Chains A and B, each alone.
Chain A
Amino acid sequence: MLAATLVCTSIALIFFWVPEDADQGFSQKIFYFHVPIAITAYACFGWGALKAFVHLWKRSPEADVQSYVAIHLGVIFGALTLITGSIWARASWGVWWTWSSQQLVLFLVLFLFYSAYFMLRFSVDPGPARANVSAVYALFGVVLIPISFLAIRLANDFIHPVVFTSAGPQMAGSMFFTFCVALAAMLALASALYRLELAGKRLDATLKRLREALE
């Protein structure tokens, strides 16, 4: 409910309230989708790794499912980041893909990494062994994020010998406010989806238990 309200508000703000960017015009509005989605994806991956750690520590099957659901959502939001980033790149730089955008490359690496997570998870039989293996791999992910970021930043030296200087968060107050609302909306949406999928998984587990009890 909260998620729906926030998403509607942020869409209204983005399209009707916030002033257009002087430089990029209308296409800049995708910024309010792209960046919050990316941050949400990071949050999902982080949450998934945290739950994986809890699983390894306490050995609770519940944490394993939570970790899986969080990473599942993270991959969905990560794919959306790649798509919105690609559209934005097309609109403002004229190309669908650019290797000089570090965030975009990092998301591609992470997307590959977490897709392999699903391959791994679905090719091991359900049980504590699968939960352990998935949890260890999920923990690898949060370590990979900073190292890959560092590596991609260094790689730009020899792939693109252009020095990028980021100007920091320089935007007008109304833009920043819209950005915050959009970020809150995406986080709320992710947490709503998280709870929805988790409820579904729990229902599945209960159903399975009941069916076994009946037999």
Chain B
Amino acid sequence: MRYFRDVATLARKDLLLELRARDTVPAMLLFVVAALVVFHFALPADSSDLAAYGLLWVALVFTALLGLVRSFSAERDQGLLDGLVLAPCDRSAIWLAKALAMLAFLVLAEIVALPAFAIFFTGIGWKTVAGVALANLGICAVGTLLAAMAAASRARELLLPLLFLPLAIPIVVGGVGAGVVEDGGRYLGLLAVYDAIFAIICWASFEYVVTE
């Protein structure tokens, strides 16, 4: 019970910071719309809707990356992470709170991105929406942990995409498959398995990333 109170407090801190500074979500919104416009011009006129589905996932993954790169910047600049690690709460609560805040940002970006995609390109079915919802969980779980890793390194912003993209390949396969294949259930299953496995690993290993 205490654990969830800690998580809620930490997540509220991130959301409040975003509400006051507004430096992540607007950037993600602008980026995803701009990316969709670029993709319109990148696709030849007679290309199929299936190609557009693929590009939607490229846009979503990179939008998430944009948010994740910033996710630990406040902690790093102010030396806040040391304070959080010393706080009398379970370390995994820091990860869970950060991932939840990230999830909120990503969902906000997608609330704009998916209708924009439907207007610009082609309509989307419930299976794509379900795929996006499941993929969000995996992206936030894995991405937050990797962002914490990257924040500890010298390369920082440069490093996160390199760490994240190979791990995002199963997410893209699952998401695109759920949208374009007739019987998309198996792909949603893949996403669910991915989420479950990586959420457990991230939850268990976050402590090692922030402590020595």
Contacts and interface: CB of A to CB of B under 8 A. Distances in A.
Given A124-B152, A132-B211, A140 B167 contact: yes
B125 to A, nearest CB: 15
Given A127-B212, A132-B212, A151-B170, A158 B176 contact: yes
Interface stretch (A2-10, A26-34, A141-149, A163-171): A141-149
B208 interface: yes
Given A123-B153, A123-B159, A140-B167, A152 B173 contact: yes
B149 A136 contact: yes
For the side of the interface on B, what is the size category?
20 to 34
Contact of B153 (A120, A136, A148, A155): A120
Interface string A86-116: 0000000000000000000000011011011
Contacts of B194: 147
A150 B170 contact: yes
A128 interface: yes
A151 B138 CA distance: 14
Contacts, number: 93
A54 interface: no
B170 A148 contact: yes
Interface residues of A, number: 33
Contact of B212 (A112, A129, A147): A129
Given A132-B212, A147-B190, A157-B177, 16 more contacts: A56-B208, A113-B166, A116-B159, A116-B163, A120-B153, A123-B153, A127-B212, A128-B212, A133-B149, A140-B201, A144-B167, A144-B170, A150-B193, A152-B173, A154-B186, A154-B187
11 contacts: A115-B162, A120-B163, A123-B159, A124-B153, A132-B212, A136-B209, A140-B198, A147-B197, A148-B170, A151-B190, A158-B181
Interface of B: 145, 149-150, 152-155, 159, 162-163, 165-167, 169-170, 173-174, 176-177, 180-181, 186-187, 190, 193-194, 197-198, 201, 205, 208-209, 211-212
